[in-house]
Structure 1
Amino acid sequence: MAISADPANASAFEKNHDHGRCIHNAMERALRLCKQNGARLTPVRQRVLELIWQSHRPLGAYQLLEQLSKEGFNSAPPTVYRALEFLLEQGLAHRITSLNAFIGCSHPGCRHQGYFLICRSCGSAEELPSESLAESLRQQVSQRGFLVESETVELSGLCPDCREQESH
Structure 2
Amino acid sequence: MSGHTHTELSGDSLVSEAERVLTNSGEQWTGLRGDTFRALAAYDKPASAYDIADDVGKLRGKRVAANSVYRILDLFVRTNLANRIESANAYLANTHPGCRHDCIFLICDDCGKAIHVDDHRVTDALREAGGRNGFADVRPVVELRGLCQDCAE
- Asked whether 1:38 is paired with 2:33, we answer no
The residue number in structure 1 matching 2:73 is 84
- Which of the residues 9, 12, 20 maps onto 1:24? 12
* 1:116 positional shift: 0.8
Q: Distance in 2 between matches of 1:69 and 1:35?
A: 24
Q: Deviations 1:100-131 (Å, cap 9, x if unpaired)?
A: 00111133222223221112222111222333
Match of residue 133, structure 1, among 122, 125, 136: 122
Instruction: Map 1:12-161 to 2 at 5 A.
Output: 22-71=10-59, 72-143=61-132, 145-147=133-135, 151-161=140-150
The percent identity for this pair of structures is: 31
List, as ranges, runs of 4+ consecutive aligned residues in structure 1 with deviation greater than 4 Å. 148-151
Q: Distance in 1 between matches of 2:17 and 2:120?
A: 21
Residues 79-106 of structure 1: CA deviation (Å, up to 9, x unaligned): 2122112211211011101000011113
Asked if the contact 2:127/2:140 (under 8 Å) is kept, the reply is: no
Moved more, 66-75 or 40-49: 66-75
Deviation, 1:141, is 2.6
Structure 1 residue 136 displacement after superposition: 1.4
Gaps of 5+ in 2: none
Deviations 1:60-88 (A, max 9, x none): 11111222222225522332122112211
Q: Distance in 1 between matches of 2:142 and 2:62?
A: 33
Aligned-pair RMSD on alpha carbons?
A: 2.4
Cα distance 1:108–1:134, how it changes in 2: closer, same or farther (>3 A)? Answer: farther
Deviations 1:46-73 (A, max 9, x none): 1211222212211111111222222225
Q: Partner amino acid for 1:147?
A: F
- TM value normalised by structure 1: 0.75
Structure 1: tracts of 5 or more residues without a match:
10-20
CA separation of 1:41 and 1:130: change in aligned 2, threshold 3 A? farther
Taking structure 1 as reference, are residues 124 and 135 closer, same or farther at Cα in structure 2, changes over 3 Å only?
same
Q: Match for 1:131: what amino acid?
A: H
Residue-pair matches, total = 150
Indicate conservation of the 8 Å contact 1:58/1:124, yes or no. yes
